[in-house]
């Protein structure tokens, strides 16, 4: 007569070695290999500290990747100690592992005894689905997606450059997007500022952007700053962000931002656009040049097209904003070669991308000195450009 | 300000948007000279409106204008004295801040 499931379990448990949670707790620091054989969806409430996860059904195929050493001390556990008992027998009888034990009572008993668990950073089923095309790329995978979800990126402006950047970073699952913009949506914005919409003309851009971001990806936390960035608020706003996306439309703020980000050592992905031309570079303080190394001082008003209303091809901020978003993702993930020390010049009419080198200036007034020596008084300092622009009309 | 060298090369100059009105709207023009300074002087002679935008009163480049020979900043080469060969590209690059 065939044995019942209960008979089989009793028999297997009698043949293998079991170990009590109290003994496992004492062995935690001693380099034993602990394997959780539950399914992925059972892990949310925690694993034993340092445990590796190999579902029971993959145990035979993956164990050698964990430890090929047949004499290694291996402890298996599951929810209550049954699946790990079968697993222990398989490792010993079929694969020749000599020192395998199954933890009595599983993680349920472990927790009842009050021992520590590591709560894993796991993606929800919905996140695994949403980000599945990222998870399939070896350079991203679950760890990379988790980095994106943990990342805090500040967008200066929800305008031409900020619109595509915000949408794609939100879609990519960047967990926190700060947006600084004190403007309201205008009909003339909609030729290029695709995060806004016709129905939202007249409402603050930060609110309009938040609505689009949440509609696209509710995972993203939006932090709204409906203010103009200036010397009085910049340090407070930018501190704590991992990357800043610079799409500001005026030189005073660009220099102020540069000086503040060098001081706080926050990388800036910078782009600018005019007509059919775009520029892009990544300024990573002390690893590469800063904005002042590239342009020691701003041009006079007659050579500064940002002072007045100037035309721009509507799709150009899309192109440049997405190059910025790409650089942001690379910086967060730590992959590839960001455009540090390089300025990319995109000419949309010619369909050419030219690259020039940008060097750190050993005499740079800001980044040639340690960050703690950059004072409040000198941040963003140069002749009063805003007044100059106003005078120039 | 510089004495013409022994040879003269023809280089392409990439004109940034803010200077295009000064060169009849062209995005790229040719100029000749033995070094970067001569090339830019040739440009300024052909298109006088560019002179004030490129050069300071002392004849040096304005500090807000970067000039590259191919992909290298001439300030880390020999500045305006940097030798230019036939077919080289000179990139003129003033700071740009448009973002909206």
Residue A158 and residue A128 in contact, taking contact as beta carbons nearer than 8 Å: no
Dihedral angle over CA of A257, A262, A266, A268, nearest 10:
50
What is the predicted pLDDT for the residue at A302?
65
Those of residues 6-65 in B touching chain A at CB distance below 8 A are 14, 16-18, 27, 53, 62-65
Q: pLDDT tens digit string along A70-105?
A: 999 999 999 999 999 999 999 999 999 999 999 999
Dihedral angle over CA of A256, A258, A325, A223, nearest 10:
-50
Q: Are B99 and A303 inside 8 Å of each other by CB? A: no
Residue A178 and residue A152 in contact, taking contact as beta carbons nearer than 8 Å: yes
**Predicted TM-score (pTM) above 0.80:** no
Residue A393, pLDDT > 60, answer no
The beta strands (E) that lie in B18-88 are given as 28-33, 65-69, 72-73
What is the predicted pLDDT for the residue at A380?
77
Length in residues, chain B:
100
Q: Which sign, positive or negative, has the C-alpha torsion B93, A315, A248, B25?
A: positive
Q: pLDDT tens digit string along B2-39?
A: 444 457 899 999 999 888 999 999 999 999 999 999 99
Those of residues 265-324 in A touching chain B at CB distance below 8 A are 271-277, 279, 294-300, 303-306, 310, 312, 317
| Nearest chain B CA: its distance from A350 CA (Å) | 9
Choose between A375 and A279: higher pLDDT: A279
């Amino acid at each position: 007569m065939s044995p019942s499931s209960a008979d089989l379990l009793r028999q297997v448990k009698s043949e293998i070695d079991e170990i009590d949670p109290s003994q496992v707790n004492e062995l935690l620091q001693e380099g034993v290999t602990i394997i959780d054989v539950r399914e992925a969806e059972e892990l949310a409430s925690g694993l034993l500290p340092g445990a590796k996860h190999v579902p029971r059904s993959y145990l035979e195929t993956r164990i050698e990747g964990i430890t090929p050493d047949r004499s290694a001390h291996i402890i298996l556990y599951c929810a209550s100690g049954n699946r790990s008992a079968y697993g222990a027998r398989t490792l010993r009888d079929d694969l020749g592992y000599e020192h395998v034990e199954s933890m009595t009572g599983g993680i349920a008993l472990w927790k009842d005894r009050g021992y520590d668990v590591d709560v894993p950073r796991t993606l929800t089923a919905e996140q695994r689905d949403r980000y599945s095309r990222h998870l399939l790329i070896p350079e991203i995978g679950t760890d990379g997606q988790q980095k994106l979800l943990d990342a805090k990126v500040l967008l200066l402006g929800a305008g031409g450059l900020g619109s595509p950047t915000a949408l794609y970073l939100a879609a990519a699952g960047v967990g926190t997007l700060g947006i600084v913009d004190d403007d309201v949506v205008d009909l003339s914005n909609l030729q290029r500022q695709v995060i806004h919409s016709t129905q939202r003309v007249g409402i603050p851009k930060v609110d309009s952007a938040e609505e689009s971001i949440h509609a696209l990806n509710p995972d993203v936390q939006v932090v709204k700053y409906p203010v103009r960035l200036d010397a009085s608020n910049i340090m407070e706003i930018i501190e704590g962000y991992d990357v800043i996306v610079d799409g500001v439309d005026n030189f005073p703020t660009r220099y102020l931002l540069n000086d503040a980000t060098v001081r706080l050592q926050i990388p800036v992905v910078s782009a600018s656009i005019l007509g059919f031309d775009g520029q892009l570079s990544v300024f990573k303080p002390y690893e590469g040049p800063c904005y002042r190394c590239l342009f020691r001082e701003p041009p006079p008003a007659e050579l500064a097209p940002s002072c007045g209303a100037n035309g721009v091809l509507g799709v150009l901020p899309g192109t440049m904003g997405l190059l910025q978003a790409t650089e942001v993702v690379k910086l967060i993930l730590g992959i590839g070669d960001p455009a540090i020390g390089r300025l990319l010049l995109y000419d949309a009419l010619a369909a050419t991308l030219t690259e020039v080198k940008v060097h750190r200036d050993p005499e740079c007034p800001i980044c040639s000195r340690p960050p703690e020596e950059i004072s409040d008084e000198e941040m963003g300092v140069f002749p009063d450009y805003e007044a100059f622009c106003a005078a120039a009309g | 300000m510089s004495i013409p060298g022994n040879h003269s090369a023809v280089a392409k100059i990439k004109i940034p948007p803010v200077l295009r009105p000064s060169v009849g709207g062209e995005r790229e023009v040719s100029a000749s000279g033995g070094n970067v300074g001569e090339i830019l002087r040739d440009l300024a002679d052909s298109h006088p409106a560019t002179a004030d935008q490129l050069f300071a009163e002392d004849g040096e480049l304005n500090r807000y204008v970067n000039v590259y020979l191919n992909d290298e900043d001439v300030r880390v080469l020999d500045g305006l004295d940097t030798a230019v060969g036939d077919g080289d590209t000179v990139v003129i690059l003033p700071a740009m801040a448009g973002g909206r």
